[in-house]
Amino acid sequence: MLRVQLIILLSIVLSIFMVSINSFAGQPVMDMAPRWEGGYGFQLRYESYGSDILLDGDSKIDNPLDIKNFVDKIWLEGVYTFDRSKRITFKLPFIGQVRTKTISGIGVKQKNSGVSDLVIGLPLKKYFNRGSETSNWGFTPSLRLPTGSYSGDYPLSDGSWDLGLGLSYSTETFKFYSLYDLFYWYNTEGKRNMREGNEIGFDINWGIHAYHNSKENSGMFLMWDIGARHHEKPNAFTLTSASGGTHVHTGPVLMLYRETMMFHVEYKWGVYEKMKGINTSKGNISQISAGITF
Amino acid sequence: MKVDLYTKIVLTAIGLFLNVTGDSKLSVIKDAAAAVGGYDYKQYQQHSETNTEFLSGGVDASEIKPNEVIIEVHGVVCSFCAQGVKKKLRKFKFVVRSRLNKGIAMNMKNQRITVAIKSGAKVDVQGLFKAVLSGGYEPISALIADKDGNIRSVKADA
């Protein structure tokens, strides 16, 4: 009982601390910069997650067949800024995925790799620059195009056209940064009757501008990220890695910048997961990225 | 021991990326501590020692030197996000790239952009304000000091 109380007290203290310090975001090249007319940038982002832990709902169960699912993605991302209130972005993933799936009571290993679905976004932002603080509201309609292969036993895409909507707010001072982002993906039915299901999620980023050097134009942000996703269960025809369920991940983020270049690394632990039926845990998520703006 | 080695490797890599050398390492720790504490003692010291006679919109006349323009802006808090402003300001022919940091110095704590100008050149102040705006920020006012140190102030249109 005392242990539970201590955990609750620690959580409250930590929450108050994190709220009080405001903070920052995971993909600075796509969000923070470029905010100038005619600016553009590129980013390479590596993302990895997966697990061999089998869950029934939110309970861990035995996994005698060694069922597992691991996904690696390399995202090529780009942004062009018409003016600070209008941008266009693209995100193209190259995916490598491997899993062991139960087929007729036997664990069957499957793998696939290649280019997956291209995402085009149109971030619209309203900026407020007040004294030594800048903040903005963002509204981002997005379209996911079926550019990935939908063939085989473990396809990279369900071959559908999907529509996304995002609403965000971020605020930044010389010391602190914070971002709040709510999004929804409406996933239509694709090829071979596959339908991955709709998804809703939010991200919170809090951080401090821990170091800044005006002369060298370099600096460092330390942040904390909290992300939650709720994904509908895919239909029975879906063969992709989509699994459905509710996931909450949280962890630290480090961002370094120098002149026009930035480097970012983050690691997030799965702190809550509830699957639709029996499925593998998403596991912990690691990301590393490097970007440049012009 | 292995953890110590990895920590040193990571910190060295970060230091090289940020170009942090020698005594600056100490200031990194001080800056980080000040950020966590929510205040900056250096900024407080600078303010305490500065003449606070403001000529225009909060820009202090004692900050300016001959052949310089100081622009007061709102919203400039991170140099990674503010590269566009520098790029746009450097395009003006009257900016001297051999002075300051390629002609521009930014002070994000005080919301000031200092521009080095050619001696005797006619300064397009409204053009500078437009450059700040298209860089993503709000220009408030400017002080312009000519080669003899004569100062005039201009407010940006709301």
The answer to whether the CB atoms of A215 and B101 lie below 8 A apart is yes
Q: Looking at residues A16-22, what average pLDDT do you find?
A: 33
At B113, is the pLDDT very low, low, confident or very high (cuts 50, 70, 90)? very high
At A32, is the pLDDT very low, low, confident or very high (cuts 50, 70, 90)? confident
Q: Who has greater pLDDT, A7 or A222?
A: A222
For B36, the closest of A33, A208, A212 (CB atoms) is: A208
Show residues of chain B in contact with A217, CB under 8 Å.
79, 83, 101
Q: Report chain A's mean pLDDT, rounded to a whole number.
A: 89
Q: Looking at residues A120-141, what average pLDDT do you find?
A: 93
For A214, the closest of B87, B107, B111 (CB atoms) is: B107
Q: What is the pLDDT of residue B18?
A: 72
At B35, is the pLDDT very low, low, confident or very high (cuts 50, 70, 90)? very low
At A29, is the pLDDT very low, low, confident or very high (cuts 50, 70, 90)? low
Cβ neighbour number for residue A93 with a 10 Å cutoff: 23
CA distances from B83 to A106, A122, A257, A283, B99 (A): 57, 22, 12, 38, 18
Q: What is the Cβ-side half-sphere exposure of residue A182, based on CA atoms within 13 angstroms?
A: 3
B81-100 pLDDT per residue, tens:
888 999 999 999 999 999 99
Query: Which of A23, A36, A132, A255 to probe by mutation at the B interface, max B CB count within 10 Å?
Result: A36
Length of chain B: 158
Residue whose C-alpha is closest to residue A35's, from B140, B127, B85:
B85
The answer to whether the CB atoms of B75 and A129 lie below 8 A apart is yes
Q: What is the pLDDT of residue B59?
A: 57
At B10, is the pLDDT very low, low, confident or very high (cuts 50, 70, 90)? confident
Q: What are the start-end ranges of the E strands in B46-156? A: 54-56, 59-60, 68-74, 104-107, 112-116, 138-145, 151-155
Using CA atoms, how far apart are residues A238 and A225, in angstroms rounded to an integer?
A: 30
For B32, the closest of A211, A259, A293 (CB atoms) is: A211
Instruction: Tell me which of A20-29, A269-278, B23-32 is least confident.
Output: A20-29
Burial class (CB in 10 A: 0-12, 13-18, 19+), A76: middle
A12-21, A139-148, A206-215, A216-225: which is most confident? A139-148
For B74, the closest of A36, A131, A211 (CB atoms) is: A131
Contact A21, A68 (CB under 8 A): no
The answer to whether the CB atoms of B84 and A210 lie below 8 A apart is no
Query: Which of B21, B43, B77 to probe by mutation at the A interface, max A CB count within 10 Å?
Result: B77
Q: What is the pLDDT of residue B69?
A: 95
The amino acid occupying position A77 is: E
B129-140 pLDDT per residue, tens:
999 999 999 999
Query: Which of A19, A132, A215, A255 to probe by mutation at the B interface, max B CB count within 10 Å?
Result: A132
Instruction: Tell me which of A171-175, B31-35, B117-121 is least confident.
Output: B31-35
The answer to whether the CB atoms of A214 and B135 lie below 8 A apart is no
Using CA atoms, how far apart are residues A128 and B106, in angstroms rounded to an integer?
A: 20
Percent over 90 (pLDDT), chain B: 43
Residue A12, pLDDT above cutoff 50? no
Show residues of chain B in contact with A84, CB under 8 Å.
136
Contact B55, B153 (CB under 8 A): yes
Instruction: Say what the ipTM of the complex is.
Output: 0.76
Q: Looking at residues A47-75, what average pLDDT do you find?
A: 95
Q: What is the pLDDT of residue A178?
A: 94
Give B96's DSSP letter. -
Residue A79, pLDDT above cutoff 90? yes
A261-278 pLDDT per residue, tens:
999 999 999 999 999 889
Q: What is the pLDDT of residue A140?
A: 95
CB of B35 within 8 Å of any CB in chain A? yes
The amino acid occupying position B93 is: K
The answer to whether the CB atoms of A208 and B107 lie below 8 A apart is no
Residue A4, pLDDT above cutoff 90? no
Residue whose C-alpha is closest to residue A218's, from B36, B124, B24, B129:
B24
